[in-house]
Structure 1
Amino acid sequence: MNAGAGRGGRALVPGRRRRARPEVTLTNYEAVYDFYGPGRRRDGFTHPLLAFVGALYAPELRIRPETVDEVHRLHDAGVGIIVAANHPSAHDPFVLASAVFDERVRFLASGTGLTKDPLFRGPLRPVFEYTGTVPVFRAKNYEGTARAVHDAAAARLIDLCVDRLVSGGVVLTFVEGTNSSADDLRTLRPESVKKGVGQMVRGVREAGDRVAVLPIGIVYRGREHARLPPRRPVVAAGPLALWEGPGSAPSIDEVRYAVRDGIDDALTDAWSEVY
């Protein structure tokens, strides 16, 4: 997953002085997003890692041929694509990353991934950094911090994602923001889809560009909380949602409901024994 991939992605210029790696905390969000904004992906690290993770989890990607054709058509036309998934397990970042490394849609694996910031303060930081993932500061991890700081950090992250999408890139996000409750494993409740995906779509439309969402449903069939990597999870793609043409930008809730319906369609396919 690459924070700098896609049309218009900014690569580091040879000879430019490297920024110091910042401490990844909410109060330091400006330095964090300055650092991760240009992209930190290293393909020589990412591609072997995704191949290994794919072999470890061996997810089944269920995506219809017409959807494959459409995502390629949109990407080739410079349309930004949001891969919007549910979040039933702590294994999801690895399962989603390896699923979109499937040769049918491999360009999606070069997108900007989003994940919780604590993962950037331990030994796994290089794994997420060198795959181009960007930290997300969740309010529940920073109780007592002024609301204005939370809001400013969230706005900066949305701006970063909108920039990627306007440049024709890909953003991969888990729309629930945290692991699914037991009530959301087979169908998502509307309130479980947080506003971030709506803010991204609205931001791109306000900038006058087209944007598409590819809804994804991930299913482990009762092994969501397995400690060891569960084999053969199912990752299903729902129908693409596309916002284009003239007119006002959609409301955040309109996007949330459309994305929820698409993920529900994907979950129906993922839970089906026959595809």
Structure 2
Amino acid sequence: MTVANWEAVYDFYGPGRRRDGFTYPLLALVDALYRPRLRIADATVARLHRLHSDGVGIVVAVNHPSAHDPTVLAAALFDRRIRFLASGTGLTKDPLFRGPLRPVFEYTGTVPVFPAKNYEGTASDIHEAAATRLIELCVGRLVDGGVVLTFVEGTNSSADDLRTLRLESVKKGVGMMVAGAREAGAPVAVLPLGLAYHGREHAKLPPRRAVAAAGPIVVWDSGPPPTVDEVRAAVRDGIDEALTAAWS
């Protein structure tokens, strides 16, 4: 797997290779190991279910403070109140699809991302084509009323972003997803989620004081499509509010 053959990679992973018989036992195990506390208001839970029932695509937009985040996020979304979000399409860097861990990502329906920093020297048009195809894939999920899970920083948070998120740290990908769905005429919602670790976030062992907190849902369902920067700002504000709750 490499960015040079991105077309074959997305042809293979794009339709989704999730196997529920594999995924749900794995999520139960991850939840038992990490047990993050999920702070989410009842009104937010009810609104998420209404949006999903109405066929509105949902982006779960998350900060990325630790290497533990993918498993902590999976455990948080396995919470029975919002478990339908756990069926969403996750995005993660392509090296994780190599070696013995590949089934963990492949059979949970995760799609690979090719970070440009991992392919220095590769022609820019190849990076751009691969990124465009990935965004199109995510937009398609949202237009169909699905769920996309994304770490908006694209890499682990810097020390300056652990308790509040800088606007420049929110990459344009989340904005392109939302704008693309609206340009296609579909309503789309974003659930900002803030992850915080009250100790042991950099240890190899699973952290026992992980907290995931939900910020206010942002919905775009009418009017002209938002700009990428408008979405980035809304996501940053929502994650900031979620982080305040997560650290309190």
Q: Is TM (by shorter chain) over 0.5?
A: yes
Report the counterpart of residue 117 of structure 1 in structure 2. Answer: 94
Partner of 2:242 in structure 1?
A: 266
Q: Match of 2:227, as an amino acid?
A: S
User: Which one of 80, 85, 88 corresponds to residue 62 of structure 2?
Assistant: 85
Query: Which amino acid letter does the alignment assign opposite residue 51 of structure 2?
Result: L
The structure in which a higher percent of residues are helix is 2
Q: Following superposition of structure 1 onto structure 2, how do residues 61-80 of structure 1 map, counting pairs within 5 Å?
A: 61-80=38-57
Question: Do 2:181 and 2:187's aligned partners in 1 also have CA atoms closer than 8 Å?
Answer: yes
Aligned equivalent of 2:159: 182
1:201 aligned to 2:178?
Answer: yes
Aligned pairs for 1:14-33 within 5 A: 24-33=1-10
Count residues with an aligned counterpart. Answer: 248
For residues 29-49 of structure 1, the C-alpha deviation after alignment (integer angstroms, 9 at most, x for no partner) is 000100111110011110010
Q: What does residue 250 of structure 1 align with?
A: 226
Partners of 1:139 and 1:257 lie apart in 2 by 23
User: Does the 8 Å contact 2:198/2:209 carry over to 1?
Assistant: no
1:57 aligns with 2:31: no
Residue 216 of structure 1 aligns to a residue in which SS? Answer: strand
Unmatched segments (≥5 aa) in structure 2: none
> Once the 2 structures are TM-superposed, how far is the Cα of residue 227 of structure 1 from its aligned partner?
1.2
Deviation at 1:142, TM superposition (A): 0.2
More displaced 10-residue stretch of structure 1: 233-242 or 221-230? 221-230
Q: 1:46: which partner in 2?
A: 23
Check whether the contact 2:199–2:209 (CA below 8 A) recurs between aligned residues: no
How far does residue 222 in structure 1 lie from its aligned partner after superposition? 3.5
Q: Which runs of 5+ in 1 are unaligned?
A: 1-23
Matched, 1:215 2:192: yes
Between the aligned partners of 2:190 and 2:232, the Cα distance in structure 1 is 11
Supply the distance in 1 between the matched residues of 2:14 and 2:226 (Cα, whole angstroms): 26
Runs of 4+ in 1 over 3 A off after TM superposition: none
CA displacement at 1:224 relative to structure 2 = 2.1
Give the Cα separation in 2 of the matches to 1:122 and 1:99. Answer: 26
In the aligned structure 1, how far is the partner of 2:166 from the partner of 2:210? 22
Residue-by-residue CA offset, 1:78-124 (whole Å, 9 max, x unaligned): 00000000000010000001100100000000000000000001210
Match of 1:73, as an amino acid?
A: R
Letter aligned with residue 127 of structure 1? V
* CA distance in 2 between partners of 1:221 and 1:198 (Å): 30
What TM-score do the two structures reach when normalised by structure 1?
0.89
* RMSD (Å), alpha carbons: 0.6
